[in-house]
Structure 1
Amino acid sequence: MRRRGAPTFAAAALASLLSLVALAGCSSADATEDTPQLKVTGAFMPQPVSDMASGFLTVTNSGGAADKLTSVTSDISDEVTIHETKDQKMRQVKSFDIPAGGELSLARGGSHLMFMGLKTKPEQGQRISVELHFEKTDPIKVDLPVKETTYNPTQH
């Protein structure tokens, strides 16, 4: 006795399995498009003249989702904060937005990192290691080359 429904059921099960595999492939491609993809460039620290220092860099997000810079840590200071400057007034903020397909620019005269109570005073030519912490993305380690006190990349 031969069953007629068996081959049809097997074919349907195989088709369903192939559909699930195809959907899983799409989901993972969509996940990449829906995640931040961060890259740091242009990092530097002007040589400090006191026990405080500032740091500047650009975080570019080529991903399809926004992220936030939430904190910064460094061995050179126990207190590294993030500041914005608006209307010539500096104030500490909890985070900076990094839009999808956009960038966060920390530059002289604007938003920046602030290193308070330096443990050692870095000299021009040294590199200061920092770790950037984000809301969604894993931390990124960056070396800030110490430049002359008046260094401004827009003028070089």
Structure 2
Amino acid sequence: MSRAFRRSALIGAGLAGVLTAATIVVACGPGSGSGDTAELSVSGGYVPLPALPGGMGAGYLTVRNTGDGPDQLVRVTSPDAGSVTLHSSGVTSMSEVSSLKVPAHGALELARGGHHLMIMGWQRQPAVGDRLELDLTFAKSGTITVKVPVEPLTYRPGS
């Protein structure tokens, strides 16, 4: 299957409705056959229930890139929240960042203690089991929409 056909099929699937699969794949880049194409998939996303009603929340997920070209996560929005910002945590501090790199043949992991999303201005108080829509915008690959579950505050994947 050609890259152009795969890309057309993915775009058509996206237009048919909101993508809600656990893993979503998109292949985009400056042109088919250029060798500099990012092929992204998003998986493992979740949002711990905010500790305080109306309080800030965090979001975690993994963006994998099996393509030959890098990309950057440059913006995240949600119809369920007033703002979603990209953050990076160090040993003693946390700061907002303008973008996060998704390396070729690598992954961007948003996880506790590292890169993550800060979610503020909830449209309504989330509850465990709700699904939060996140629109992830990449510099080269456009926007990927995912829905991630709201989990208990103490949730840890794989435990």
TM-score range, shorter chain: 0.7 to 0.9
Deviations 1:38-63 (A, max 9, x none): 00010000011222111000000000
Structure 2 match to 1:81: 85
- 2:38 and 2:129 mapped to 1: Cα distance? 32
CA positional deviation for 1:30: 2.7
Structure 2 counterparts to residues 32-43 of structure 1, below 5 A: 33-43=35-45
Residues 74-119 of structure 1, C-alpha deviations (whole Å, 9 max, x = no match): 0121211000001231100000000000000000111100011222
Residue of 112, 124, 148 corresponding to 2:152 = 148
User: Structure 1: which 5+ residue stretches go unaligned?
Assistant: 1-27
- Higher strand fraction (1 or 2): 2
How far does residue 120 in structure 1 lie from its aligned partner after superposition?
1.2
Higher helix share: 1
Task: Show the counterpart of 1:30.
Answer: 33
1:124 maps to 128
Aligned to 2:114: 110
TM-score (norm: length of structure 2): 0.76
Q: TM-score, normalised by structure 1?
A: 0.77
Task: For residue 136 of structure 1, give the secondary structure of its aligned residue in structure 2.
Answer: coil
Runs of 4+ deviating beyond 4 Å: none
- Distance in structure 1 (CA, Å) of the matches to 2:59 and 2:132: 10
Contact 1:108 1:152 in 2 (8 A): no
Pairing 1:90–2:71 present = no
Q: For residue 9 of structure 1, what is the aligned residue in structure 2?
A: none
Larger Rg belongs to: 1
| Secondary structure at 1:139 match in 2 | strand
Q: 1:55-70 residue pairs with structure 2 within 5 A?
A: 55-70=59-74
Q: Provide the C-alpha distance between the structure 1 equivalents of 2:119 and 2:93, rounded to a whole number of angstroms.
A: 18
Does structure 2 retain, via aligned residues, the 8 Å contact 1:68–1:97? yes
Residues paired across the two proteins, number:
127
